[in-house]
A and B are shown apart, each in its own frame.
Chain A
């Protein structure tokens, strides 16, 4: 029985949000942005660009609704990051190292956009005391996770065990 791609993507996003808000929400050493990473990695799959953007927007909206900041802020930022990811995904497919760097850069862009747009809308809670540190640590953590998970995510979503094996 083939599981619909939409269901797989939805499950991935929900899992990412739950793990982000519980496990990574309480760790003080490793602080990735798993939801943003899943959105970025979805761009590497065969999912159509428009759908990746819609999924990114929806994921961001859920994180907004679970948090304390403005609704639509992360939705907007995640959609922008997803668009850049879709436009640049060919550069990420060279190998695992390229994927890792690409995911880290996109995470950094996402965080900067979040802080800039959030500040414009008066979200002081996004520019906390450790923002400088977070702008470095979060992309680094996402790079490590991207190196570990990118192949798996693409294979699970596309249901093709032969792709993104980096062999």
Chain B
């Protein structure tokens, strides 16, 4: 046994002080909603840790891949077979799409059409870690130096919604998956618009709609809605688990997300909205558009941005 001073009143007093400080910090974080001083502290710490994390990730990646592969060795044969099948299907789809692309090109020439420039910028990033065993967030190896900004949407390589950028440093960023986010996400199932929220202790998410009028079938795809301010519209989120019929209270459904953040290795960050300044704008901000002919617009022509997720 070591010869040490036994813990006394001073240790207890230190604990009480630290507990009070901790509770005050949590309360401040809740009240400030992660902005201001909290955001500065978070970004500062992540900036300091980023070089160490990136170096460590570079070193440990082969080890991680080896261990994860060994853990999955039993499933590898089946997975290879499934991937071969998927590759064949993808090739067939690619050929079909090539035909379509040629037809679209032809029509564009005939009708003199030009792309509206709505394509989103995409940044592919590697998942280099997670904060700890419990936290659902992902740390990725791209940051402001690669054009990533706060609150940008993140999807997987197949375009399925993963989450949003919570904090960003020059070289890394933290992604909060939709399954680990307190905020709801505005989505549509068929014609029904509602909010999708994570449930505690379950991979399934809950869809609530107060305006639903039509029934929904199991397997229906859930897409991001044009009413969402956090995601561009039309991106796949998940599928409905069971059939649902609207009642007087609206419609409540369980949705299985397409993405499991636990097994993600690559993500794609979307440059949306195209101008990050508008993302942080207050809900009441109005923007006025000036037509090409130079005439000023009427007050009724202003569009309002902001609102719920």
Residue in B14, B21, B139 whose CB lies within 8 Å of A50:
B14
Query: What's the interface size class on B, roughly?
Result: 35 or more
Is B295 part of the binding interface, using a Cβ–Cβ cutoff of 8 Å? Answer: no
Question: A17-B49, A31-B133, A65-B41 in contact; A70/B29 too (CB < 8 A)?
Answer: yes
Contact in complex: A22, B56 (CB < 8 Å): yes
Contact in complex: B136, A125 (CB < 8 Å): yes
Is A46 part of the binding interface, using a Cβ–Cβ cutoff of 8 Å? Answer: yes
Number of chain A residues close to chain B: CB under 8 A = 70
Q: Mark B122-165, 1 if CB is under 8 A from A, else 0.
A: 00000111111111110100000000000000000000000000
Residue in A30, A68, A76, A138 whose CB lies within 8 Å of B180:
A68
Query: Quick one: closest B residue to A35, CB to CB?
Result: B132
Is B268 part of the binding interface, using a Cβ–Cβ cutoff of 8 Å? Answer: no
CB distance from B37 to the nearest CB of A (A): 10
CB distance from A119 to the nearest CB of B (A): 7
Question: A125-B176, A126-B135 in contact; A75/B60 too (CB < 8 A)?
Answer: no
> Which of B199-207, B218-226, B282-290 lines the interface with chain A?
B199-207
Is A134 part of the binding interface, using a Cβ–Cβ cutoff of 8 Å? Answer: yes
Residue in B18, B30, B52, B139 whose CB lies within 8 Å of A76:
B18
Contact in complex: B11, A20 (CB < 8 Å): no
Is B4 part of the binding interface, using a Cβ–Cβ cutoff of 8 Å? Answer: yes
- Known contacts A44-B2, A126-B135; 13 additional CB pairs below 8 A are A20-B131, A23-B129, A24-B133, A49-B7, A57-B18, A62-B49, A63-B132, A68-B136, A68-B137, A76-B19, A128-B136, A129-B203, A138-B134
